[in-house]
Structure 1
Amino acid sequence: MQSGITVSAELQDAFARFNSDSSTFCLPVTITAETLTPLDPISFQGSPSINAFFSALPQLSSVLQPKTPVYLLLRRPSTASNALIALTYIPSNAPVRAKTLFASTRSTLTRELGTEKFASTVFATEEDEVLGQDAWRERDGEGPNAISREDMMGEKERELEAVRKAEAEARNGTPGRDIGIGGTFGPGSGSGMRVSMPVDEGAKSALRDLQDGGLVQLTVDIPTETIVLADSQSGVEANSVATHISSSSPRYSFYHYPGSDVVIFVYTCPTGSSIKERMLHASSRRNAITVAEQEGLKIEKKIEASGPDEITGDRLQEEVTPARDQGPTRGFARPRRPGRLLSKTW
C-alpha cells in the first residue's frame, strides 16, 4: 500500500552527500507538500567508530517531537562497513493523518533511495526505542555489532498494520483533539472523528435541491482537500443506485428513497482506493453529514460498504421499512454479509 508521495530531488542530493560522508551520523527526513524532503543532517561528535553510534544517539532528541513522525536515516559504523539504517519514528499519540501518511510512505523512502543501501529498517513508536542503547542492543541479537536485516514479509505486515490502526483511529477518534495535517477534530455527536474541511458551493446546492428519487454524491478532492460534488442524478430507482456509485474511489452518497421522506447516507470506500483517499474520506464523513443537515436534509439512515455492489435495492428498502423484529429504528450499519455487519451509531 503506497501513499503516492515521492522522494524530492533535494532529498536525493542530500542522501548522496550523506551516503558518501562517513562523518555524518543522521539525515532526518520529513514529508512536505506531497514529497519526502531532508532536514538538517547531524554529525558524529568525534571520529566515527563502533562506540560513536551510541554516543551520538542523544543528539537525536533534537529532532524527536512527541506528536510528529519523522524518518531517520542513520549511519552505524561497524567493523565491516558504515551500515545505514532507515528508522521510521511514528509516536503513538501522533495525529491520525500523519500516522497514515508516514506508515504508508516508509517503503517508498527506502525503495527510491535504494533498498540495497540499507542494512536494516526499524519501526519505532517511543523515544526510548530510538535513543536507548538497550533497545539497539536488543535489536542486535547475537552481538553488539551485528545488524540483522528484517524479514521483508514482516516489514510489509508491520506497515499494513500501522495503516489499519490509523484508519481505525480515524473512525473512532476522540472529539476535540488536534489531528495535525490539514484539519481538526470538530464537535459532534458520538465518539467519531470529524475533520473540518471546506465544502464546494456546488455540493451544497445539490444537497439543497435533493428531491424524491434523487442521488447526490460527494467526494474529497485530494489536492485541495475540499469536499466537492461528484455527481447528481434524479429519478434513480433503488435497484440501480449501485450502478451510479464509483467502484474505485470513495463516495459520500445521499439518496432520497422514492415515495418516502427518508434520506439515506451511504459511505463507500473501495479497498483498491489509495491510502490517502481512504484516510481523508474516513476522517471527513461526519463533516459531510453535518453539511447535508445544514442544507436542510434529515439523515436518519446510514450505511457503510467497501463497494457499490453491496448497496442493493433490498438493502435500501430495509432501511426504509425495517423488519418487525428489528424495531422501528436502526443505527449505522454495514450491509449484511459475512464479516461486514456492524451495529454502531456515529
Structure 2
Amino acid sequence: MSTQSGIVAEQALLHSLNENLSADGIVIIIAKISPDSTSVHQTQVTRSFEELVQLASQEREPLYIFYKPEGLAKYFFVSFIPDGSPVRSRMLYASTKNTLARQVGSNSLSTEQPLITDAQDLVDLKNFDSARPAGQNKPLTHDEEMQIEINKQQALLRKNTSVKLVSQDSASPLSLTFRVNSEKPINEILDSEGKNLIIFQIDPSNETIQIVQSDTCPSVDELYIDLPGPSYTIFRQGDSSFFIYSCPSGSKVKDRMIYASNKNGFINYLKNDQKIAFSKVVEIGDFVELDKSLLMATNKEDSLDHGSNPDLPNKSNLKFNKPKGPLRKRRT
C-alpha cells in the first residue's frame, strides 16, 4: 500500500477538468503541487504540444498533466518527473497521485497513466488517441509497451519513406530486427585488426546497428564509454569477450525501448553469425555503475556457461562446513 501525502486537489482544478471533458479538440491541463504542499492547483490550459514541451523544458519540479485527445471524453493522467528534480518532490508527487486520481474519478481517466521524464517525449502523447481499441485500455506489460512503441515508430517511417523496413518481417524477441551496418565482419575487426573495443549504436531512421567506435583499449582500467544515449559494447580482455549494454540516465524513453527489445537479438547475432562467445553480459545505467572487476575474466572457468560443466567448480554452489560449537567443559 502506497503512502498518501494528504494533499488534495483545489476545486478550481476539478471544475476545469470537468468542464473541459466535453470540449472539442484536444485539451491539455497542467497542474502542480502548491509551494506550501497543501493542494494541487491548475497552472495552465493549452491545446498546443509545442507550448507544453516548452513549459515542461523550463521546469525543474515535477508536473501533473491531463491530456484529452480529440474525440475522447477521458483524460490521460501523465506524471512528468524530470530527471534532475529533487528527491523530495518526486516522493511528494508519487504519494499524491492516487489521491488526485480518486478525486478526478475513474470515469474521467483512462487506465493508462504514463510516466515521462524527458520534456521532448511529451509529444509522444499524440499517439494516445481515440482510435485505440477498447481492449488496449487494460494495463500492458513492459514488453508489450515496448513493442507498441516500436511499431508506432516503424509505421511512421513506412509512411514517410514508403520503403519496406527490415523489421516489417515478423520476428521473435531473440532474433535481430535491425540490420548490422559494418564494412567488415565484426569478428575480423577483433581478430585481424587487433581492436578489442567496439561500440555500437542504433540508427532508427534506417533501422541499422552501426559501429560508432572501434579502438584498442590497453586494460580494463582504461575502459571508458562516453556517448549520448544507450549503446552496445564488445570488450575483449585476453581470451574472454564481454558484452556491455549501457543505458545512461536521461536517455529518451523511445531509445530505451528500442535498445532493450533488440539486445537479445543482437547478442544472438554476434554469437551465431560472428562466432563471438561472451564470458559475461553486463547491463549498466551510467558508466560509473560498471563494476570493472566483472571484466577481469581471462579463462574459460569464468564464462557464462561456467555452471554447465560439472568438472569445473561453480562458485555459486560452493558449500561451507558448519562451524563446530564450543567444547563443553568436562566434569571431574
Q: Which has the larger radius of gyration?
A: 2
Tell me the TM-score normalised to structure 2 length: 0.45
Tell me the TM-score normalised to structure 1 length: 0.43
